[in-house]
Amino acid sequence: MLTQRFHTTALIFIGFFLLGLLIILWGVVLPDLNRDLAMSPAQSGWFFLTMAVGTVTGAYLGGKYVQKFDFLLLFAGLAFIEAAVLTLVAMVQQSWQLLLGIFCFGLFASVMFTIGHTLIARLHADRRAKMMGLMDFMFSLGTLAAPFLVVVMYWSAADWRDSLRLLAALLVVLAAYAYWLTKQHVEVPEAAFTGARRSLSYRTVLAQPAFVALAFAMFGYGAVEWGNGNWFVSYANSALAIDAQSARLVFAFFTGGMVISRLMFAWFIPLLGARRLLQILAILMLCGALAIKLLHGETALAIGNLLLGLGLGGIYPLLLSSAMDLDPENGPVLSGLSNIAGSLGCQVVGLGTGLWAQAQGIGTAFWLVPMVGAWLCCSAFWFSRYIKAREVTR
């Protein structure tokens, strides 16, 4: 008979796959949103900024308060609410309604992320890094699947609303699965689900230098991932005169490297140790970021993107799992802190690159990606000092 631990892990993995689909889906259908709702480019910018504000708000509230609830029951409720949000967004007729909906989406999705990270970290304390890497691999798999889902959905009718309705239905199934799990009584570690019924404090966590280093590193992670993700195709097309389709194919080496890294990095921990592996991944990431800016030609850019993806993909789960090893009881706060810092990094580099590109062109502005890559590399080495200290004292 399958244990509740297996079912809970499967629930979170499926949930992260669906969340990966949804987060990338908005960018895939954005041209249709703009046309259908008569949105200007400025309103499109507000769209993603509003989602980021919702994400930061949800990460803060989730990290502080999810500990007070039964994780599975809360996850079920949030999945159902998210399905309702998507259903309502599929009915909007005005841009302000879309902005309200995307704020709510970011808010509830961020809390679901916090629950997922905390549950997997506590359920699999003996192999935390590996399981969290697989969880983030499922998220990356969802991001890869999103464009293909839209293409298949558009075979019957080119309506972005149908994609949202389908994913809303899948979230209802996910909510039902989570609710069913709350009614089971299979013996599992109780601490994995509830823990102390109290709110947690960001101030207490940030009083520890290790977690200040974590916040700096996660800021850099979000900046590098979304700086390259949002701007590489424009950079290659406008500054290097590579046609858009070829630029997208080159960019696929980055997403492919991310997926491979998240699937494989945990296998190297027994060989290298978490501290050394984090440093190697950070150096790979920085080399890739510099190669993308300094080299020319599609082959060289593809290699740079692959190195960037291979280095970057494993950094997030390795940072978060190592932080939770240091302080398992504050897992929700550490997840919330990571999401907040990553979201802020994403917004800063997105806005900064746009303003710099407007002043001096995208060819110059793209230097921001290797710059934040250097920030991430230094921050990762800073955080790795605390991993080393903990390994020595074992």
Q: Between vectors from CA 220 to CA 385 and to CA 215, what angle results, nearest 5°?
A: 55
Tell me, yes or no, whether 169 and 209 share the same domain: no
Residue 292 lies in a domain: yes
The rounded distance, in Å, linking the Cα atoms of 177 and 121 is 20
Tell me, yes or no, whether 302 and 222 share the same domain: yes
Q: Is 69 left (phi over 0), alpha (psi -120 to 50) or beta?
A: beta
Tell me, yes or no, whether 185 and 242 share the same domain: no
Tell me, yes or no, whether 223 and 372 share the same domain: yes
Residue 291 lies in a domain: yes
> How many domains does the chain fold into?
2
Residue 364 lies in a domain: yes
Tell me, yes or no, whether 304 and 207 share the same domain: yes
Tell me, yes or no, whether 157 and 262 share the same domain: no
pTM here? Answer: 0.78
> What is the average pLDDT score of the chain?
84
Residue 110 lies in a domain: yes
Tell me, yes or no, whether 137 and 157 share the same domain: yes
Residue at a domain's end among 138, 160, 192: 192
Task: Summarize pLDDT for 238-253 with one digit per residue, the tens.
Answer: 889 888 778 878 888 8
Q: Each residue's pLDDT tens digit in the chain (394 positions)?
A: 456 778 888 999 999 999 988 987 886 677 788 788 887 766 666 777 788 889 888 888 887 778 777 888 899 999 999 999 999 999 998 888 999 999 999 999 999 988 888 888 788 877 777 788 788 888 888 877 877 787 788 787 778 899 899 999 999 999 999 999 888 754 445 545 445 555 667 778 888 999 999 999 999 999 998 888 878 887 888 889 888 778 878 888 888 888 888 888 878 888 888 899 999 999 999 999 999 999 988 999 999 999 999 999 999 889 988 888 888 877 778 888 888 898 888 888 877 887 888 788 888 989 999 999 999 999 999 999 998 554 443 3
Tell me, yes or no, whether 334 and 377 share the same domain: yes
The rounded distance, in Å, linking the Cα atoms of 85 and 216 is 32
Residue at a domain's end among 168, 192, 216: 192
Tell me, yes or no, whether 254 and 142 share the same domain: no
Task: Summarize pLDDT for 58-110 with one digit per residue, the tens.
Answer: 888 887 778 777 888 899 999 999 999 999 999 998 888 999 999 999 999 99
Range of the structural domain that residue 22 is part of: 4-192
Residue at a domain's end among 143, 166, 192: 192
CATH of the domain at 43: 1.20.1250.20
Tell me, yes or no, whether 143 and 241 share the same domain: no
Tell me, yes or no, whether 12 and 38 share the same domain: yes
Tell me, yes or no, whether 60 and 94 share the same domain: yes
Residue 197 lies in a domain: no
